[in-house]
């Protein structure tokens, strides 16, 4: 198969979907993308693993980064693609081969964009962060991540979703003494000790903060609780996992301090242990940066906050304003009936064409 990246981005999306690329198995698709970009003759192209990088160097005043992952979650009897009534069905249609298709189409059809372009198509976004291709590029080829604004083609309903929330997970662990439940007074129930933690979470009132006109709402939630030995045993161990999704004006350290403060009462006596098990910083929207502001204007001034974490955080950590902007409803991501409205593919391509043309 020879990938025609100058084709209509709807057709190109279908072609990308029809090349399976589950995480760790992106080689065939990466080969096709690499060959197509080299065939244009306008880009410096570099291949690292199953990451394909391309850039122009025309000495223009600004550089725009277009980044998208090539991998998908495991296929669920939803490849090859299928077009019905203005809806394209198939694994990766939303997350995020329609975004990749738009970027590739523009690379092929915009002969002289107003900005220098860097395109990054990377592997293993859908699995553990240690395998993330963008992380590898950041470590090994940081010069490829320099730019004035980064656009990730993650599904955003065709709206600019600016920045992203940060996330931390903590585990609160309780210990006790095991005993027969018929003689419960001889034991010390670890599950009961978690009650005040759950009450504090139930009473928590999340903060909403406005940053660059984006409303970020925080959330502090118990996401898992475990304990118990048997139906007739007082448990001697229990834990609750808590996830804090925080606005990007907080650092990870500030977010951890906020959780500790919120749970100060329950953990004050030292019987409960708090451990941070996962953390990722958020990303400020950065919409006041000139290149980002121009993108917002091209999109008709429509934007909103991103709820959830995406790789825009990696760019924000490097001081590069970054947004999510791609076709499709993110609620269809990873589903057996994953699908995208083809009109959104066209709309996103039109907006980015207007922006990149200056």
Q: What share of the chain is helix, strand, coil (3-state, %, to 5)?
A: 35, 30, 35
3-state secondary structure of 120: strand
- Between CA 50 and CA 25 the distance in angstroms is 9
- Between CA 197 and CA 159 the distance in angstroms is 38
Which residue among 71, 161, 188, 311 is the active-site one?
A: 71
- Between CA 201 and CA 220 the distance in angstroms is 7
- Helical (H) or strand (E) element with 252: helix 252-262
- DSSP-assigned letter for residue 74: P
Residue 33 · residue 121 · CB < 8 Å: yes
Bridging pattern class, strands 219-227 and 160-162: unpaired
Find the DSSP H helices in 25-112: 27-40, 98-109
3-state secondary structure of 99: helix
Give me the sign of the Cα torsion angle 279, 283, 284, 285: negative
Does 125 qualify as catalytic in the annotation? yes
- Between CA 92 and CA 15 the distance in angstroms is 11
The Cβ of residue 148 has, within 10 Å, a number of other Cβ atoms equal to: 18
3-state secondary structure of 246: strand
3-state secondary structure of 356: helix
- Helical (H) or strand (E) element with 315: helix 312-317
Which residue among 125, 161, 236, 341 is the active-site one?
A: 125
- Between CA 164 and CA 313 the distance in angstroms is 7
Bridging pattern class, strands 160-162 and 322-324: antiparallel
Does 341 qualify as catalytic in the annotation? no
CA-based radius of gyration for the chain:
23
- Between CA 180 and CA 157 the distance in angstroms is 55
Which residues are known to be catalytic?
71, 125
């Amino acid at each position: 198969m020879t990938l025609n990246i100058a084709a209509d981005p709807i057709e190109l999306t279908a072609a990308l979907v029809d090349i399976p690329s589950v995480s760790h198995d992106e080689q065939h698709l990466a080969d096709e993308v690499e060959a197509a970009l080299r065939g244009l003759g306008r880009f410096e192209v570099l291949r690292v693993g199953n990451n394909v990088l391309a850039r122009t160097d025309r000495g223009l005043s600004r550089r725009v980064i277009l980044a998208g992952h090539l991998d998908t979650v495991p296929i669920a009897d939803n490849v090859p693609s299928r077009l019905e009534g203005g809806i394209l069905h198939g694994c990766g249609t939303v997350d995020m081969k329609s975004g990749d298709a738009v970027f590739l189409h523009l690379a092929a059809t915009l002969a002289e964009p107003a900005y220098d372009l860097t395109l990054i198509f990377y592997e293993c976004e859908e699995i553990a962060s240690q395998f993330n291709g963008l992380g590898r590029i950041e470590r090994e080829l940081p010069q490829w991540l320099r730019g004035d604004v980064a656009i990730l083609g993650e599904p955003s309903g065709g709206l600019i979703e600016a920045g992203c929330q940060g996330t931390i997970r903590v585990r609160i662990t309780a210990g006790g003494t095991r005993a027969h439940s018929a003689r419960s007074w001889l034991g010390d129930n670890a599950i009961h000790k978690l009650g005040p933690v759950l009450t504090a979470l139930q009473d928590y009132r999340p903060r909403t903060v406005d940053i660059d006109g984006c409303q970020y709402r925080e959330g502090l939630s118990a996401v898992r609780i475990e304990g118990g030995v048997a139906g007739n045993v007082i448990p001697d161990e229990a834990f609750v996992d808590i996830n804090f999704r925080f606005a990007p004006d907080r650092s990870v350290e500030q977010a951890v301090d906020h959780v500790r403060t919120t749970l100060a009462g329950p953990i004050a006596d030292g019987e409960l242990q708090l451990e941070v098990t996962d953390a990722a910083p958020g990303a400020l929207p950065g919409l006041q940066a000139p290149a980002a502001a121009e993108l917002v204007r091209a999109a008709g001034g429509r934007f909103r906050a991103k709820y959830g974490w995406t790789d825009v955080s990696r760019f924000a950590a490097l001081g590069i304003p970054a947004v999510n902007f791609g076709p499709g409803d993110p609620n269809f991501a990873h589903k057996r009936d994953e699908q995208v409205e083809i009109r959104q593919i066209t709309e996103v391509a039109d907006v980015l064409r207007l922006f990149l043309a200056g």
